[in-house]
Structure 1
């Protein structure tokens, strides 16, 4: 989809507006002048052209007028007031209309003159008559015509086009150039508040749902859009709150029947069916605990509590050692230095426990698992299992997404780790180690 540029939309709109307004203004003046009868051939140039095209030679050698469409239209528009004199070198003369006495004797007195305007001393400074030597179909003639005859529509439009080309077009071109140069600055200045609001919107995510877009500096025309977005954020926040309350209530309600189920399962005879049922109930218990952990994280405020990451790694590995032995996995801790970080000890321990459990479950029977403590504030969990495909590394942190659809996990473990990392201004990075297995890297206090 092609993006629309507001700058170029404004530029083309303004240019089109100038052209349309210019044409309307010029058309309005021409229409008004036409109605008032002021659209006339004031210099006589158009009248000379029309008569020139109509002058022909009669059979006896005299001058005559051919009834051309333009001449007939001129004669019809001018009526009885049209007059002109046409003379050739042989003395033939053609007179049309009532020629004023003062012009009758002038036609033969302009020897050596090709063009002259006569009787300039008028109130508007325009000539009353025009004398010009022209070439016609009857040969060269001298012509004196009355000026001020009404112009035809064709001549009016042609004159208007010439006037637009030489008078209006240069001004419009300069104005258009100014519009092209000035519009980017105008758009940038006008959208300054919106750009700042868009930059603020980039900081809003699911963990900062109470943030709203500011209205400072936003133009009045754009304020309804910003207000609508803020109202949409309010509705989304309400939806998230309802969803979280539902999950928390569901997890609380599930704990009691799951506990009762586990107690009754322990009283059954030992057989393969009991093992499967116990595994299923354990999975339900894990799911309920993880849902509660996610709910607790929303209320956790990371304080300046000092957490010894080395002791944390050793404690988590010791707690999960029986599970690793059950799956014939080796579990080791590489923490040569004591690293202390500010954070929430309970949530950090829960996150590391989920990473180790994930390695035990997905690494396979007999895999090697190593918990490594790195500076400045980083914990890595590496395993020698099949690893996580690169195409799945972003999706495995999504809630309820499982790499193995029928696996024992609920798909919340890595999502919980990512939430804990975000709570401690860090991130969870999923990659691969030298053996091709998975490498889970929990980084804390980034930018601290």
Structure 2
């Protein structure tokens, strides 16, 4: 069972992934630096407490009982002026404080005796503030405990993070912005050439002389695709040329035998057989003529660069078909605005399209029924008949080559309306058919209102 793959944008996908990678690449190092700085601060706190405990042990005289702590004057002053941000306590085996920095060290001493020496722990503050971060060590029978408040740690952390954020804002973010702009510009430049190739591909028409895509400026990854498309176009062009030459040659070769056949039919005595053969020969002649028209349309691009008055074109086509209308005893009426209705196009091709529309109406409607031809300001050309109409399910197929309604009994070739649709498309117009009010069909060539 086949699954439908949703369309996706390569440009958008590359842009999103590049943005993610660039963001991680630029902001990632700053994040790592912040984490490393916070880890370093924690390590510094541990080392500082260990050094603090070592100072206490180094200056503790254990030769006397109870021991005497002889700290340098600068350390004594530092402990006294720290506001209990730094504490120490010396506790004997009976959990009696031998020496301390202040009465607040009693809580430190109690917590230090709860665990083994050589560990870090937290000591709740009696006033409910941030706990002390503490460390204990052993010196003989005495437990040495030191602690420090978290205020200085928070200050250091805030300072480091602030400095790193300033660094990111001043360097990393501008670098990220420049990198993103360069990536967007690179993607736009790369896909601009791809868009150009897509536009060239859309402009290729059957039988065009330059049915080839240029790979100039394309990435190396796209060149093989373009070269494969060019190879396919070359094969299609060769096949198209073979088919076109066959159609043209066959139509030309058939004209002479058809003319000879019609001349021989004219020499036959009058009768039903002669009438049937004359109708068949006329249909064959019409088919050959339309095959030549198709071959000419396919042979080269149709020039549509002149100003054409639709009223004059329709009038000439109606006048040309006047004898056929008289033969069938039918009335043809032309309606057009008094002022010219002009379009950019090819006069001969438009006259051929109008002729085919009117002939189609003659073939598919009973003799004696009227045919109306209108030129409107839209601009458009409409041919209205009183025939059986075209079923809605068959309206798209009637404009395809060699497609005839299965319900029709007319002797059409299946090429006339296809020629009309092709000429309309070459002029930027559309060939349509719809029901006519009161019965019949309304075939039209419609230009866009802004055309």
Tell me which interval the TM-score lies in, with the shorter structure as reference length: 0.5 to 0.7
For residues 208-227 of structure 1, the aligned pairs below 5 Å read 208=208, 210=210, 212-215=212-215, 218-227=218-227
Quick check: 1:393 aligned with 2:395? yes
Q: Tell me how far apart the structure 2 counterparts of residues 439 and 210 of structure 1 sit (CA, whole Å).
A: 38
Partner of 2:245: 245
Aligned 8 A contact 1:309 1:340 in 2: no
Q: Tell me how far apart the structure 2 counterparts of residues 229 and 337 of structure 1 sit (CA, whole Å).
A: 51
The CA deviation at 1:144 is: 5.1
Quick check: 1:442 aligned with 2:440? no
Partner of 1:203: 203
Partner of 1:7: 12
The CA deviation at 1:290 is: 0.4
Quick check: 1:420 aligned with 2:423? yes
List runs of 5+ in structure 1 lacking aligned partners. Answer: 27-40, 46-88, 94-106, 117-128, 136-141, 147-165
Q: Tell me how far apart the structure 1 counterparts of residues 308 and 22 of structure 2 sit (CA, whole Å).
A: 68
Partner of 1:380: 382
The CA deviation at 1:409 is: 1.4
Partner of 2:322: 318
Aligned 8 A contact 1:372 1:381 in 2: yes
Aligned 8 A contact 1:193 1:217 in 2: yes
In the superposition, the TM-score normalised over structure 1's length comes to 0.57
Match of 2:355 among 325, 345, 353: 353
Q: Tell me how far apart the structure 2 counterparts of residues 279 and 143 of structure 1 sit (CA, whole Å).
A: 118
Q: Deviation string for 1:330-367 (max 9, x for gaps)?
A: 32233574848686555443322211111122234553
Q: Tell me how far apart the structure 2 counterparts of residues 115 and 364 of structure 1 sit (CA, whole Å).
A: 118
Aligned 8 A contact 2:313 2:351 in 1: no
Q: Tell me how far apart the structure 2 counterparts of residues 281 and 419 of structure 1 sit (CA, whole Å).
A: 26
Aligned 8 A contact 1:334 1:371 in 2: yes
The CA deviation at 1:247 is: 0.7
Q: Tell me how far apart the structure 2 counterparts of residues 386 and 413 of structure 1 sit (CA, whole Å).
A: 18
Q: Tell me how far apart the structure 2 counterparts of residues 444 and 21 of structure 1 sit (CA, whole Å).
A: 57
Q: Tell me how far apart the structure 2 counterparts of residues 221 and 291 of structure 1 sit (CA, whole Å).
A: 44
The SS at the match of 1:353 is: helix
Q: Tell me how far apart the structure 2 counterparts of residues 413 and 13 of structure 1 sit (CA, whole Å).
A: 56
Q: Tell me how far apart the structure 2 counterparts of residues 130 and 427 of structure 1 sit (CA, whole Å).
A: 93
Distance verdict in 2 for CA 1:263–1:184, change over 3 Å: same
For residues 47-196 of structure 1, the aligned pairs below 5 Å read 91=93, 130-132=118-120, 187-196=187-196
Distance verdict in 2 for CA 1:273–1:145, change over 3 Å: farther
Q: Tell me how far apart the structure 2 counterparts of residues 282 and 385 of structure 1 sit (CA, whole Å).
A: 22
The SS at the match of 1:363 is: coil
Partner of 1:37: none
Aligned 8 A contact 2:252 2:292 in 1: yes
The CA deviation at 1:185 is: 6.2
Q: Tell me how far apart the structure 1 counterparts of residues 15 and 336 of structure 2 sit (CA, whole Å).
A: 63
Q: Tell me how far apart the structure 2 counterparts of residues 201 and 229 of structure 1 sit (CA, whole Å).
A: 10
Q: How many residue pairs are counted as aligned between the two chains?
A: 350
Q: Tell me how far apart the structure 2 counterparts of residues 405 and 323 of structure 1 sit (CA, whole Å).
A: 25
Partner of 1:120: none
In the superposition, the TM-score normalised over structure 2's length comes to 0.57
Distance verdict in 2 for CA 1:18–1:380, change over 3 Å: closer
List runs of 5+ in structure 2 lacking aligned partners. Answer: 32-42, 48-90, 110-116, 124-133, 139-160
The SS at the match of 1:372 is: strand
Distance verdict in 2 for CA 1:403–1:423, change over 3 Å: same
Distance verdict in 2 for CA 1:358–1:376, change over 3 Å: same
Q: Tell me how far apart the structure 2 counterparts of residues 190 and 302 of structure 1 sit (CA, whole Å).
A: 35
Please, what is the CA RMSD of the aligned residues? 5.5
Q: Tell me how far apart the structure 1 counterparts of residues 337 and 14 of structure 2 sit (CA, whole Å).
A: 64
Q: Tell me how far apart the structure 2 counterparts of residues 262 and 442 of structure 1 sit (CA, whole Å).
A: 34
Distance verdict in 2 for CA 1:210–1:190, change over 3 Å: closer
Q: Tell me how far apart the structure 2 counterparts of residues 381 and 270 of structure 1 sit (CA, whole Å).
A: 35
Q: Deviation string for 1:350-400 (max 9, x for gaps)?
A: 322211111122234553211223448643211122333444434322222
Aligned 8 A contact 1:332 1:371 in 2: yes
Q: Deviation string for 1:22-46 (max 9, x for gaps)?
A: 99xx9xxxxxxxxxxxxxx99879x
Aligned 8 A contact 2:207 2:240 in 1: no
Q: Deviation string for 1:207-249 (max 9, x for gaps)?
A: 7562544556544543443344344333333322222111111
